[in-house]
Chain A
Amino acid sequence: MMEVETEPPKQTGTAVERSSDGSVLSGPLLELAEVSKSYGEGAAQVLALRSVSLVVERGDYVAIMGQSGSGKSTLMHILGCLDVPSSGSYRLSGGNVADLSEAALADVRNRQVGFVFQQFHLLPRISAWRNVELPLIYAGVRQRSTRRQRAEQALAAVGLADRVDHRPTQLSGGQQQRVAIARALVTDPDILLADEPTGNLASDQADELLSIFDTVHELGRTVVLITHDPDVARRSQRQVRIRDGRIVSDATTRP
C-alpha cells in the first residue's frame, strides 16, 4: 500500500489560510459584504448597520467618522470579532468569520486583531505589565519571564518603560490608553482597531497618542480608528463616513 499525501495539513486554531511566512494567500484583509446589524425586537428594533460593504486592504490606515449613534462602534465591534452581524458576511484574511468556532474566534481576537476601547478597559488592581501580559497568557506563552519581557517591550514602544509596575489608578488617562495600546499590540497582531481612542483625553495627550498610531501604521500594520476629529482623520489615508448605519462616503488621500 502506498501512502499519498493529497492535501497540505490544515493549520489549527484559525480557519485562515496562510503561507509559511505568514502572509495571506488570497483576497483583501477585511471584507464586509452587505452587513446589517439590528438590536432588539419588533417595534423597539434598531437597525444600527444597514447593508454595509467595506473592503480594507493590508496596510491601510482608515478613519471612520460619523455622528453619534450612526453605527461606528457597531461596525468596529464586528470588524474586531467582538460581535456578529445579523446578516451579510464578514471575511477576515479570506476566511468567513461565521464559520469559526468559539475557540477559533478567541484565537482571532488574541493574535490577529488588537482592540483599543474609548474607556481603556484595564483591570484596575493589577500593574501595567500584568494588564499587558493578559493576551500572552491566553496565547499560551508559558514562561512568565518571557511574558514580562514582551510586556515590557510593548510598554517601552508606547513610551511607558518607566511605568511597568504602576497600577492603572496611578496613571494619567493618556498613559492608561497607552497601556491599552501596548496590550493590543503585545501579541503582534496584523490589525489595530481603535474606537475613539482619544475621546476621553485632553488634546496634548491625544496628539501623543495619535503619533503612536502613525508609528504603528508605518511599521506595517493595518489601522482602523473611529474619530470625530477632522485633524485626526487627516493623518489617515482614507476616511469613511457613516450616517444612519450606511456608508455615505469613502475617500482616499494618497500621501
Chain B
Amino acid sequence: MSWIELVRGALDGLVERRSRSALTVLGLLIGIAAVILTVGLGEGAQAQVGSAISALGTNMLIVTPGSTSTGGVSGGLGSASTLTLADAAALGSTTDCPQISRVAPVTQHTAALAAGVNNWTAPVVGTTSAYLSIRNRQVVLGRPLTAADVQRQAHVALIGTQVAQNLFPTSRAVGRSVEIDGVPFTVVGELNPAGSSANANEDNLVVIPISVAEGLFGSRGPNAQSLSQILLSATSSGNMSSAYQEAETLLLELHQLPSSSSADFTITPQTSLLATASSVSKTMTVLLASVAAIALLVGGIGVMNIMLVSVSERVQEIGLRKALGATPGMILRQFLVEATLLGLAGGLLGVGLGLVGSLVLPALLHAPIVISIPAVVGAVVVAVGIGLCFGVYPAARAAHLSPIDALRSA
C-alpha cells in the first residue's frame, strides 16, 4: 500500500466519523492553545519583571539610612539623619571610590502641587543631574536637570507623565508654571513613561534640584535635612561588589563606626532585587506551566476516551478488512496514519489558536505573552503522542484477533 493510499484511506475514515474527529481535534486544540498561552503569559511576566528592574537603573546601588541588623537602635528605615550631602560628596571621589562612576543624593517628600485650577499630590524628589542617568530615565519633552540648576538653586522641575496629565490635561506642560507647596517652579522637562516598579509609581513624580528642596522642605522636622537615599552606579555590572565594598568602607569611616555589623546605613545592590524578582516570576511560570500541563492532560484523557470508543466500534471494520486480506501491519498503518493526522490537525490548529491568542489577549489582560518555542514543540509532540498511544494501541490489539472474532465483537 502506498502512502498516498494510506492518507486517502485515513482521510476517508476521519470524514466518515466527522463529529468524532472534530471532537478529538477540539480537545487537542484547546489543550495545546492553553499550554502555549499560559507558558507565554509566564514568560511574558518574567520578561516584564526583568525589564522593569533594569529600568530602575543600570549597575545601581541604593544606600538608605538605618541598618537592617540594628534596626531598633537606629530608629528604623529612613528616619535617622545618618546620610548627608557630605556622604554623597565623599562617595563621588574618584580616589576613594574608583569603581563608583556616578552619585545622586536623593531627598523625597510628598507635596501639594497646583497649576491654575488643577491640584495634585505627588512625591517630590530633590536630587542632582546624575539621578536620571543612574535611574535610566529619559526626558521626552524639554530638557533634563543640569548641574547649573543645582548650583544656582533654580526653581525648575521635571514632571512624570501622570503629573503632567493631571496638572496640564489639555496643554503642553513644558514651559508652564507649577506651585509646589505654594512655591512657583517652571516645568522644564517631562519624563518618559516608566510604569510601576516594585515599590513606586514611576510616573507620579516631580524632580527638582536638591539645593532647592532643602530650602523648601527643611522646616518639616528634625530629620528633614537627612537624605532619603544615595543612589550610586558602579562603573560596570562586573564591578558591583567592588563598588559595594568601597561605599561601605568609606561610609563606616565617615560615620566613625568600627565594623559593618554596627553600620547605620544599608546598601542594596540592584542585582539582588533582580534575583529575587526573577525567582518569583520563575515560580509563577512553573505554576502556570503546571496548570497548562493539567489542561493538556485533561484534554488528552478526553481524546483518549473518544479514541477508545471509536476503536472498539471499529473492531468490526478491522475484522472485515482482515477477512478481505489485510495483514495486521496494514491495519496498524491505517490507524497510525489516522491518529497522526488527527494529532497533527489538533496540534497545528492549537498552535494557530495560541498564536492568535498571543496577539489578541495581551490587549485584554494588560499582560505581555512571549511565545516559547519549546512549549509549542512540546505541546505538538504530546498531542501526536496522545493520538498514537490511544488511537493505535487498541487498534494494534484488534489487528491480531482472528477476523471472525473481530467481526463478531460488535
* Chain A residues close to B by CB (< 8 Å): 77, 80, 82-84, 102-103, 106-107, 109-111, 115, 117, 121, 123, 125-126, 130, 134-135, 137-140, 142, 144, 183, 187
Q: Is the CB of B324 within 8 A of A109?
A: yes
Residues of B within 8 A of A82 (CB): 323, 402-404, 407
Stretch at the interface among B145-153, B211-219, B289-297, B314-322: B314-322
Would A77 and B404 count as touching, CB distance under 8 A? yes
Interface residues of B (CB under 8 A from A): 1-2, 5, 9, 12, 15-16, 317, 320-330, 400, 402-405, 407
Bound-state CA distance A126–B328 (Å) is 22
Closest 3 CB pairs of A and B: A110-B325, A138-B325, A106-B327
- Asked if residues B327 and A103 are in contact (CB atoms below 8 Å), the reply is yes
Distance of A79 from chain B, by nearest CB (Å): 12
A83, A117, A121, A138: which contacts B330 (Cβ < 8 A)? A138
Which chain B residues border A110 with CB–CB below 8 Å? 324-325
- Return the chain A residue nearest B2 by Cβ: A142
What are the residues of chain A within 8 A of B328 when measuring CB–CB?
A: 102
Contacts of A117 on B, CB cut-off 8 Å? 407
How many angstroms from the CA of A84 to the CA of B405 in the assembled complex?
11
CB distance from B35 to the nearest CB of A (A): 34
Min Cβ gap A85→B in Å is 12
Of B320, B323, B403, the residue contacting A123 (CB under 8 A) is: B320
Beyond contacts A84-B402, A106-B326: 10 other A-B pairs, Cβ-Cβ < 8 A, are: A82-B403, A109-B325, A110-B324, A110-B325, A121-B320, A135-B325, A138-B325, A140-B1, A142-B5, A187-B325
Q: In the complex the two chains form, is B317's CB within 8 Å of A123's CB?
A: yes
Evaluate contact between A102 and B327: CB separation under 8 angstroms.
yes
The answer to whether B323 and A109 have CB atoms under 8 Å apart is yes
Could you tell me the distance in whole angstroms from the C-beta of B334 to the nearest C-beta in chain A?
A: 10
Name A111's closest neighbour in chain B (CB-CB).
B325
Chain B residues positioned under 8 Å from A140 (CB to CB): 1
Give the distance in Å from the alpha carbon of A144 to the alpha carbon of B5 in the complex.
Answer: 9
Measured CA separation A80–B9 after assembly (Å): 26
Whole-angstrom distance between the Cβ of A125 and the nearest chain B Cβ: 4
Q: A123-B320, A125-B16, A126-B12 are in contact. Are A138 and B326 (CB under 8 A)?
A: yes
